[in-house]
């Protein structure tokens, strides 16, 4: 039994992609990618509201109030796409999504050291990296893998924001509420919510990965 594998789901802001741009105004789901090795290009499809006002994408299929959109992306040596960035670390992405201007991706690595390396490099490249979910492989012989998080490392405001976001389903997939709705419930603007949430998640991510 593999006992060191790690399945991570990260949210990355600052990734430049038409899917991410579209997620700022419409509900995006079912993102798929197909690479063409002959010309270093990638065809990307995603589902969103039908007849959405989206630039530089083609609507290829429609069903009811939803439609499938397609565009082609050329790979670059210095990529600004989080998906391609992770894959250039010899790590395939298992799931790709976009939500409220951020890309959400999951992947599997061999151990926490490999995850640390990817997260550190992502943080050097993109605006913010938040851990949404972390799953370790099962252990043999009843072994456990406990991680102790010092809640006092969070400010009262950060804890309030995390608790409110969790209660409103912000971390669920698909989300039960978006950043605008959570910030309204907290009576703060969206940028303040994002700032406090990023700081809190960064502390939790450090605690998990440094344990």
Q: For residues 3-17, give the mean pLDDT.
A: 83
CA nearest to 8, candidates 108, 148, 113, 147: 108
Q: Read off the pLDDT band of 137 (50, 70, 90).
A: confident
Q: Which residue has the higher pLDDT, 58 or 174?
A: 58
pTM: 0.67
Residues 63 and 182: their CA atoms lie apart, in Å, by 31
- Is residue 180's pLDDT more than 50? yes
pLDDT at position 88: 85
pLDDT at position 186: 93
Q: Read off the pLDDT band of 1 (50, 70, 90).
A: very low
The neighbour count for residue 172, using CB atoms within 10 Å, is: 11
The full length of the chain comes to 211
The neighbour count for residue 123, using CB atoms within 10 Å, is: 14
**DSSP code at position 168:** T
What distance, in Å, lies between the first and last C-alpha atoms of the chain?
22
3-state secondary structure 38-97: CCCEEEEEEEEECCCCCCCCEEEEEECCEEEEEEEEECCCCCCCHHHHHHCCCCCEEEEE
Backbone angles phi, psi at 147, to 5 degrees: -120, 125
Contact 15, 123 (CB under 8 A): no
Of 54-58, 143-147, 183-187, the poorest mean pLDDT is in 143-147
- Is residue 151's pLDDT more than 80? no
pLDDT at position 48: 93
Backbone angles phi, psi at 36, to 5 degrees: -110, 105
Q: What is the pLDDT of residues 25-35, one digit of tens each?
A: 898 988 998 88
Q: For residues 81-89, give the mean pLDDT.
A: 87
């Amino acid at each position: 039994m593999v006992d060191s594998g790690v399945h991570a789901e990260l949210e990355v802001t600052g990734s430049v992609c038409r899917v991410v741009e579209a997620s700022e105004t419409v509900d995006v789901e079912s993102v798929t990618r197909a690479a063409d090795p002959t010309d270093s290009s990638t065809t990307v499809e995603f589902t969103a509201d039908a007849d959405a006002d989206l630039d530089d994408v083609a609507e290829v299929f429609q069903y009811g109030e939803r439609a499938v959109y397609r565009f082609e992306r050329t790979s670059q040596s210095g990529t600004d796409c989080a998906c391609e960035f992770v894959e250039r670390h010899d790590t395939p992405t298992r799931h790709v999504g976009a939500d409220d201007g951020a890309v959400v991706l999951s992947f599997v690595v061999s151990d926490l050291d490999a995850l640390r390396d990817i997260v550190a490099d992502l943080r050097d490249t993109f605006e913010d990296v938040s851990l949404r979910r972390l799953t370790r492989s099962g252990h043999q012989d009843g072994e456990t893998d406990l991680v102790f998080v010092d809640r006092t490392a969070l400010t009262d405001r950060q804890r309030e924001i995390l608790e409110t976001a969790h209660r409103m389903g912000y971390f669920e997939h698909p989300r039960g509420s978006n950043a605008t709705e959570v910030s309204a419930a907290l009576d703060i603007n969206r940028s303040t919510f994002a700032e406090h949430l990023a700081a809190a998640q960064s502390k939790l991510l450090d605690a998990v990965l440094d344990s």
